[in-house]
Amino acid sequence: MAECVSRAGYHNANSTSPQHQHSPAGGVAGLISGRWPLVSGGITKLLAPVRSRRITRHPHRSEQAHLELLAHDFDTVDNGIFERIAQAIDERGYAVIDAGLPKSLVDALFLHICDLPDSALTPAGVGREDDHHVNRFVRSDETLWLEPAQPAARGLLAWMESLRQGINRRLFLGLFDYEAHYARYAPGAFYRQHLDAFAGGGTNRVLSTVLYLNPTWGADDGGEMVLYAEDGSLVLEKLTPLYGRLVVFLSERFPHEVLPTRRTRYSVAGWFRVNGSLGGQIDPPR
């Protein structure tokens, strides 16, 4: 975590202020102070605006079990959020939702990606299947696919499954499944303007999602996602990658890019797909 906090450009001082000395060891602060005591003050201050509900740390519980608890520390999903997303997609083709996911789930994802060794994420490519290749002139981020075996990922996949069902009930898009990966943009990294899917191009990606995992992101930190109109020239949105912000948009309709970042930038990028199977063979997800 110390490496993650330092790499992201966050303050990593070992605070001795009364605020930090008496901060209750719950939520993310509790998890971090239990495993990374030297940065507990800095990270507590860092995550104060987005503190999760408090979770009592059991002395014999593994770190994986704590992530599991954080990732699933919500009883029900908020169908009102699904309604807002569906309505925005129906009206304009995209939705921008702040603080829509459970805070504990966002915290668990942030902890997980920070705890990964650098080598776990690999240079991202462009294209799919046989056409997949790395092109550092187009994109320079690094990615790791989410798998159900990862506790934090399991919580997100469960939430996205509820979103899939909610959108299908409201918009009848026939969404079939969901795939996602972590994305890490080191300082200077970018992703040139592109579409996630091309009409008539045989892809099965219908709806794209981006969830941001960047506490205390500032206006001068760069890394905004620019969402364009279909012609690729008119800017519709320039979105700061704020912690817990979720962006959902039609994959074939909106060109977009990630501007160069000045600090390490974390996110989860995902796609809802339709079932384009033929002869019992489901389309490859990646």
Instruction: State the average pLDDT for the chain.
Output: 77
Query: Would 240 be classed as within a structural domain?
Result: yes
Which pair of structure tokens corresponds to residue 91? 């009206």
pLDDT score of 202: 58
Highest averaged pLDDT of the listed ranges 78-87, 123-132, 170-179, 202-211: 170-179
pLDDT in tens, 212-263: 999 999 999 999 999 999 999 999 999 999 999 999 999 999 999 999 999 9
**Whether residues 172 and 232 fall in one domain:** yes
CA atoms of 44 and 63, how far apart (whole Å): 18
The domain boundary residue, chosen from 11, 44, 71: 71
d(CA 50, CA 43): 11
Residue 234 is predicted with a pLDDT of 97
Residue 276, pLDDT > 70, answer no
Give 161: exposed, middle or buried? Use CB within 10 Å, 0-12, 13-18, 19+: middle
Q: Residues 253, 178: one domain?
A: yes
Cβ contacts of 21 within 8 Å, gap of 6 or more: none
What is the count of structural domains for the chain?
A: 2
User: 184 and 259 share a domain?
Assistant: yes
The CATH number of the domain where 243 resides is what? 2.60.120.620
Q: HSE-up of 111 (CA within 13 Å, CB side)?
A: 34
pLDDT in tens, 150-182: 989 999 999 999 999 999 999 999 999 999 999
Q: Provide the pLDDT for residue 54.
A: 37
45 and 97, same domain (yes or no): no
216 and 153 in a common domain: yes
DSSP 111: H
Do residues 50 and 179 both lie within one domain? no
- Tell me: the pLDDT tens digits for 98-111? 999 999 999 999 99
Residue 179 domain-assigned (yes or no) = yes
> Which residues lie below 8 Å from residue 262, measured CB to CB, with a gap of 6+?
9, 187, 188, 220, 221, 222, 223
What is the pLDDT confidence band of residue 198, given thresholds at 50, 70 and 90?
confident
Residues 57 and 117 in one domain: no
Q: Which pLDDT value is given to residue 23?
A: 29
149 and 21 in a common domain: no
In a domain, 281, yes or no: no
Q: Quick count: other Cβ atoms within 10 Å of Cβ 281?
A: 8
For residues 247 and 112, state if they share a domain: yes
Domain contains 284: no
Q: Does any domain span residue 96?
A: yes
Task: Give 186: exposed, middle or buried? Use CB within 10 Å, 0-12, 13-18, 19+.
Answer: middle
49 and 114, same domain (yes or no)? no
6-56 pLDDT per residue, tens: 444 433 333 333 333 332 334 444 443 343 333 333 444 444 443 333 334
Residue 237 inside a domain? The answer is: yes
pLDDT for the residue numbered 18: 32
Q: Of the candidates 46, 71, 96, which is a domain's last residue?
A: 71
Query: Structural domain of residue 98, as residue ranges?
Result: 79-273
**Inside any domain, residue 286:** no
Whether the pLDDT of residue 77 is over 60: the answer is yes
Between residues 57 and 209, the one the model is more confident about: 209
- Whether residue 283 is contained in a domain is answered as no
Q: Are residue 10 and residue 99 in the same domain, yes or no?
A: no
- Given 40, 71, 102, the domain boundary residue is 71
53 and 152 together in one domain: no
